[in-house]
Amino acid sequence: MEAPEFPGTAVPDRSLTYESMGLRLHALEWGSIDSPPLVLCHGMWDHARSFATVAPFLSRCYRVIALDGRGHGDSQWADAYNWMACVSDIIHLIRSLESPIFLIGHSMGGGQATDAARAVPDRVKKLVNIDGFGPPPMPAGTPSIPVRFSEFLDFRRRITKHPTWRPYRSLDELAERRHAQNPRLSLEWLRYFSYHGGRLSDEGWIWKSDPQMAQGMGPWVPEWIAPSYRTLRMPVLAITGSEPDTWGPLPESILAERLSNIPQLERCTIKGAGHFVHIEKPADTAQVILDFLGSA
């Protein structure tokens, strides 16, 4: 089947693979290999091509490297998933590059990029977090961490009996399934996204991502987020959309309190966009990022 096209996307100039903790990980590149490196980290259930409309703008100035996180896209599946393993994957990519980098993450990738920047501050010049500031506080009555961890392990045991996704009859059905989760994204975009994030099996179209991640990466509490921001040593740009969406943005009272812990902070709201600002408004998002990265 011929790959679907979507206006504004660009075919990657290169791909690369590298190893992290025994896994083979995959990334796509746009722009000159001699330009300053800019690493992009996607959110849960996404993949490197979720940046395919914003990358052409960024690649005019930077060597854009978009990672397929472990268990996503064309990267290898893992035996298990935890937050710090994903953070380590980003760190290994950063350390494989010759010079310090600029780092951008969206959603889950924004949180993981932030933790990677905290771990190797000498290797990250500036950080951009796109709506990756965690969920709101847990509601009253949430089970304790030991109980949630037990449920997490029970899920892992069950998923071994169903190690892959159920197939869909067509690429359009796969795209429509994702549209149910993210109704602000067009079916035309999601057809492009699903083609690169899925594969055609003998039974039909299935996602490439590992279903084991459906239970997340282990129990934790959102109250851990804000204090961690205090150790960030580089300038940080926090981007959110103006429109309520499935996964964000957080209520301003919660978001402002968390972001107040970042020592060097700039904020920007992209008008007319929801959680996926870089997909809904790629030109506007890219311009904000370029202005930030180019500023003193």
Give the pLDDT confidence of 58-114 residue by residue, as tens digits: 999 999 999 999 999 999 999 888 999 999 999 999 999 989 999 999 999 999 999
Domain range 14-135+221-294, CATH class: alpha beta
Average pLDDT over residues 132-143: 91
Q: For residue 282, name the pLDDT band (cuts at 50, 70, 90).
A: very high
Q: For residue 156, name the pLDDT band (cuts at 50, 70, 90).
A: confident
Q: Is the pLDDT of residue 163 over 80?
A: no
- Tell me the three-class secondary structure of the chain, residue by residue: CCCCCCCCCCCCCEEEEEEECCEEEEEEEECCCCCCEEEEECCCCCCHHHHCCCHHHHCCCCEEEEEECCCCCCCCCCCCCCHHHHHHHHHHHHHHCCCCEEEEEECHHHHHHHHHHHHCHHHEEEEEEECCCCCCCCCCCCCCHHHHHHHHHHHHHHHCCCCCCCCECCHHHHHHHHHHHCCCCCHHHHHHHHHHHEEECCCCEEECCCHHHHHCCCCCCHHHHHHHHCCCCCCEEEEEECCCECCECCCHHHHHHHHCCCCCEEEEEECCCCCCHHHHCHHHHHHHHHHHHHCC
| pTM (2 d.p.) | 0.95
Q: Is the pLDDT of residue 139 over 80?
A: yes
Contact (Cβ atoms closer than 8 angstroms) between residue 74 and residue 26? yes
Average pLDDT over residues 274-295: 96
* Res 242: pLDDT: 97
Q: What is the mean pLDDT of the chain?
A: 94
* Res 95: pLDDT: 96
* Res 33: pLDDT: 96
Q: What percentage of the chain carries pLDDT values higher than 70?
A: 99
Distance CA 215, CA 53 (A): 29
Residue ranges of the domains in the chain? Answer: 14-135+221-294
Average pLDDT over residues 188-200: 97
Q: Is the pLDDT of residue 157 over 50?
A: yes
Q: For residue 295, name the pLDDT band (cuts at 50, 70, 90).
A: low
**How far does Cα 143 stand from its chain's mean position?**
27
pLDDT in tens, 217-233: 888 889 999 999 999 99
Q: What percentage of the chain carries pLDDT values higher than 90?
A: 83
Q: For residue 296, name the pLDDT band (cuts at 50, 70, 90).
A: very low
* Res 154: pLDDT: 86
Average pLDDT over residues 154-183: 88
* Res 277: pLDDT: 98
